[in-house]
Amino acid sequence: MRNFKSFNVIPRLSFVLSLTLITGFTLTSNAQEVITIEQAIEKTLNNNLQVKQAQFSESLAEVDLSQSKLALVPTLNGNISSGISFGRSQDQNTFEIINQKLLTTSGSLSSGVPVFEGWARLNQIRQNKILLDAGKANTEKVKNDLILQVITSYLQILYNKDFLRAANQQLAVAKQQLDREQQLLDVGNKTLADLSQAKSQLATAELSVTDADNALTISYLTLAQLMDVPSATKYEVQAPLLDSFKTPSVKYNPDQIFGDAMNLFPDIKLAALRTAAAKKGVDVAKGSLYPKLSFSAGLGSSYSYIFGYDNALFPQRSFADQVNERFNQSIGLNLSIPLFNGLQARAGVKRARINLLQTQTDEQLAKNNLNKVIYQAVADLRAAESRFRSTTNTYIAQKDAFEVIEQRYAVGLVNSLDYSTAQTNMNKAEIDMIQAKYDLLFRSKVIDYYLGKQIVF
């Protein structure tokens, strides 16, 4: 998935705390950090180890490219060796065989440059350039995958907050119901079976609260792990202001979205670059089938000293004289023709071609997967829009019903339990509507994500 930075679409997600009546979100402590979705994304991109791993791989690819370029530069190596020999050896001045301790020191400077290697080194440079681009595309993909995960986890926290609020409201109603059944039993208007049923409903409500609380804890933990902060970190999230919510358009053509995404989506770009690199890999491997021609040049000299030498006819020469007299130069051309080496070169070409077929298959799979997820995203958006309309109508109906119950309760025509139940139903319908808004909002941003648009809440 693409890096929003590469398209200048860094999410600038402006969030404010919603009213408690609308979202039911309150800070558990004034000391807790309140994190916006923009801050959550920033923390994730700065801290997540997956991003660091991708960046390290990108750096290694850059080093490989630099090294392949330097492989065209002539080599230059110096060598100095020194040793003492005992017993029979050759005098380097008279070339006579002597039987004395001899100190020999030599030095050389050599250089070599490849003239022709089947264009393997040039193709290696081209391949490494493509691999560097692929490394950059992979870093973008990792970042954008994480961005989408952060948005999903962030909204999951908001969902779970609503679930917990609804569960607590249902628990309060169940407690009231149990109290009422107990009072009616005390005056003989209810049976033990009725009381047992109320207790069962209370236990179910308590379990729902426990499940909702656990789900909320896990969603906080998931986001903390994405941001790579300590799991014990206590923080709150800001909810979007939904008062200015506008229903997004659902009139999308999935084929058109797919066509646009093919030119923008980093998964496709990464797969195409890997295929291109594999093609160059075949050319690199073919280079080993050609003869290799290289040029070499060298300089060298030596010095020797015989311990205990007393031949007056041939006195030992000085260091400078010996180095000057033995100074030598060399140039040469080396031609290496591959005849038979266990068919290693041909096997290398076959492996490169198989790797190319594999990357081509991976590229096609990436395209197929993109097509599937885009069709699914469009279907999810339409379903979310339908659910939002339904929950909105349900909320309006429950709100109207509650207003009637509220008026009757004010004049004593409805008891407190019926009033609390009507209020709970209205609140639950409101929560469902808010959740539908979040879901519709998220689904529309997913479409923007595939189209490379700026994501703004």
pLDDT tens column, 2-25: 333 333 332 322 222 232 333 333
In sequence order, the β-bridge partners of residue 80 are 107
Q: For residue 456, is it within any domain?
A: no
CATH number, domain containing residue 299:
1.20.1600.10
Tokens coding 324: 């000057």
Domain that holds residue 19: 4-451
In a domain? residue 255: yes
Bridge partner residues of 292 (DSSP):
336
Distance of CA 48 to the CA centre of its chain: 8
Assigned domain for 446 exists? yes
Q: What pLDDT was estimated at residue 52?
A: 94
Q: Both ends of the chain: CA-CA distance in Å? A: 20
Residue 41, in any domain of the structure: yes
Q: Is the dihedral of CA 272, 277, 283, 286 positive or negative?
A: negative
Tell me the two tokens of residue 310: 């007393």
Residues linked to residue 83 through DSSP beta bridges, in sequence order: 104
pLDDT at 13: 28
- For the chain, 457 residues long, the average pLDDT of each consecutive 10-residue run is 34 28 38 83 92 95 95 93 80 69 90 91 95 94 89 89 87 86 83 85 91 95 93 85 67 90 90 96 93 94 79 72 90 90 89 96 95 94 94 95 89 81 86 87 86 69
Question: Does residue 457 lie in a domain region?
Answer: no
Whether residue 167 lies inside any domain: the answer is: yes
Q: Domain tally for the chain? A: 1
Q: Look up residue 166 and give its two tokens.
A: 């609804």
Amino acid at 208: S
